[in-house]
Amino acid sequence: MAALMAAHHRPGFYFRVLEKGEVGAGDEIVKVADGPEHMSVAEMDALLYLPGHTPEQLERALRIPALSEGWQGSFQAILQQKTSGSPGSVNPGLAPPSGPPPAWPGFRPLRVSHIDRESVSVVSLTLITADGRPLVAAQPGQFIILRMQPEPKGPVLLRNYSLSNLPSANHYRVSIKLEANGVASTYLHDQVRVGHLLDVAAPRGNFTLQPGDNRVVLLSAGVGATPVLAMLLR
């Protein structure tokens, strides 16, 4: 359901609670005032999660006093990147930096070399370089971001998937569970074939296995086994 809402640009922040109270079915909702700029939920969502925004649009969003501090900080980070001319196609406002710096900025195409059917609901994709440039071995527990557009005129989707095998500079492997109404997982399960190109951001994340001789216990459930599987194989 979360993936379906994101695909239709409905992130779910229609109301901000300023004062606690009770609301129930049948209660009347009355708009008492209009805020500045009149930006829709879809416009606001696109500024953070989709490419192609302009500094003017970001400045409009920052003039909305009801915008939460978190969203204001995200838009300020994106605006700073825009005005400074810094390269990169990933919105810096999506999350604070985590782990070591990415091995490359933005996205690069990787080729699907193998597809393994792990179960009725999980498929693993092995990705290799498509342009001859070497990859970088990720730390066990890190993830990559896939950028997809299942429909030619549909929304661009960004999804994080943990790497699910031994860290390697030759290939990456991700394992994806098919989710009900999951636009991205359905696309990866049903449409992607060997030889297809996928836009991939460099490995990142600080949920990693630290070097040392101490014993560790790895616990996970379901498809959440992917990052700890990489740690186990290490």
Q: What is the pLDDT of residues 93-136, one digit of tens each?
A: 555 444 556 777 888 999 999 999 999 999 999 999 998 888 98
Q: Are 227 and 114 contained in the same domain?
A: yes
Same domain? For 83 and 112 the reply is: no
Residues comprising the chain, all counted:
234
Comparing 199 with 204, which gets the higher pLDDT? 199
Q: How many domains would you assign to the chain?
A: 2
In a domain, 167, yes or no: yes
> Are 111 and 87 members of one domain?
no
Task: Quote the domain boundaries for residue 198.
Answer: 107-209+217-233
Q: Is residue 17 one of the residues assigned to a domain?
A: no
Please give the residue that has the higher pLDDT: either 49 or 151: 151
Q: Is residue 154 part of a domain?
A: yes
Same domain, 42 and 134: no
Using 50, 70 and 90 to split pLDDT, how confident is the model at 92? low
Q: Are residues 227 and 149 in the same domain?
A: yes
Residue 47 domain flag = yes
Question: Is there a single domain that holds both residue 186 and residue 137?
Answer: yes
Percent of the chain's residues with pLDDT above 70: 85
Q: pLDDT for 162-200, tens place per residue?
A: 999 888 889 999 999 999 888 999 999 999 999 999 999
User: Mean pLDDT throughout 47-62?
Assistant: 84
Identify whether 146 is part of a domain. Answer: yes
* CATH code at position 191: 2.40.30.10
